[in-house]
Structure 1
Amino acid sequence: MLLHQGIGLDAFNALPERKAVHALYECCNSMTMARHLTYGRPYSNHDGLFRRADALLFALPESAVDQILDACPELGRRPRSEKSQAEQCALWHDDAAVMAELAESARAYASRFGFGFVMYVGGLDAQAVLSAMTDRLHNEADTERKVVRNELAKINRSRLERMLGPEGGYQNW
């Protein structure tokens, strides 16, 4: 769960450097990206921040991406969640056969590529994730690394959007 949610672009731009880095680290799990995004302030609109985040992510060396991947939760589990993977998956999908196949595919994926499966799920069910993972298991390692960066970019954008809130900000009632 992000601590900084719906703070608005103006408030984000005005945060002290240390707090801005913290808020951005929560979104991207990369101190390098968080610092460079902070140094790019002020942003005139959300899209400027999103574009800069994408550019930084795609410029990172593989070792930095590996550090981000290490911070990603295992499939079916949220970061810092007290619930086991099985409990989380049961909440996600009640088809035990699909969940067992998903867990087996996740092990095969990690064995093949050396890191856990990463995908922006955005409301997809377990069957759709399983299909995507099955397809991605056929990728060459270099291709999969590119796909992973694209998925990380989607995850970052989702978290940045949550951190900022709507473009026009929330109306104070």
Structure 2
Amino acid sequence: MLMHQGIGLDAFNALPERKAVHALYECCHCVTLAGDLAGGRPYPDHNSLFRRADALLFALSEQSVDAILQAYPCSVRPCDDSERAALRTAEDSYRDRFGFDYVMYVAGLCAPDVLTTIADRMHNDVETERKVVRNELAKINRTRLERMLGPEGGFDNW
């Protein structure tokens, strides 16, 4: 859960630098990315912030992306013990194959869906999978940034 939710773009643009970095870090789990996004304020609209976040994410080093991956456990709807074990095994195989952790925007998916996706992605080469990972991180960041900003104009409590 994010501490900063529904603050609105105007309030976000007006936050002191340190508070903006904190709010952004909650979304992207990268100090460099959060600092660069905060430094790019003011943003005229949500999409400008989202595009800038994507551009900065795709410009990060692989080492920075690997550090971000540590904050993104694969979380799916509750499943039984056999599905949990299958997920652990699949994620371990993925890590052994690619050398970094599996990440996926799972919004509402269940364990069998995630297992299928892991199996499909195991056919990628490392370079392709690195691109897929960044795309998945961009989806997650976008969702969290949308939650942080809330609707255009924010909520009345901010």
Q: Same fold (TM over 0.5)?
A: yes
Q: 1:148 aligns with which of 113, 133, 137?
A: 133
1:108-123 alignment, distance < 5 Å: 108-123=93-108
Identity of paired residues, percent? Answer: 65
Q: Give the equivalent residue in structure 2 for 1:72.
A: 72
RMSD (Å) for aligned C-alpha atoms = 1.5
TM-score by length of 2: 0.92
TM-score by length of 1: 0.85
- Number of matched residues? 157
| Structure 2: distance between partners of 1:52 and 1:137 | 30
Runs (4+) of structure 1 moved beyond 6 Å? none
Q: 2:116 aligns with which of 112, 131, 135?
A: 131
Q: Give the equivalent residue in structure 1 for 2:35.
A: 35
Amino acid at match of 1:140: D
| Structure 1: distance between partners of 2:147 and 2:20 | 15
1:5-20 alignment, distance < 5 Å: 5-20=5-20
| Deviates further, 16-25 or 107-116 | 107-116
| Structure 2: distance between partners of 1:167 and 1:102 | 38
Give a deviation string over 1:50-95, Cα, whole Å, max 9, x none: 000000001111111111112323x34xxxxxxxxxxxx6xx2334
Gap runs ≥5 in structure 1: 77-88
Amino acid at match of 1:13: N
Gap runs ≥5 in structure 2: none
| Structure 2: distance between partners of 1:34 and 1:171 | 25
Q: Give the equivalent residue in structure 2 for 1:169.
A: 154
Give a deviation string over 1:7-27, Cα, whole Å, max 9, x none: 111100000000000100111
| Structure 2: distance between partners of 1:151 and 1:116 | 12
Give a deviation string over 1:19-57, Cα, whole Å, max 9, x none: 000100111111111111111111111100000000000
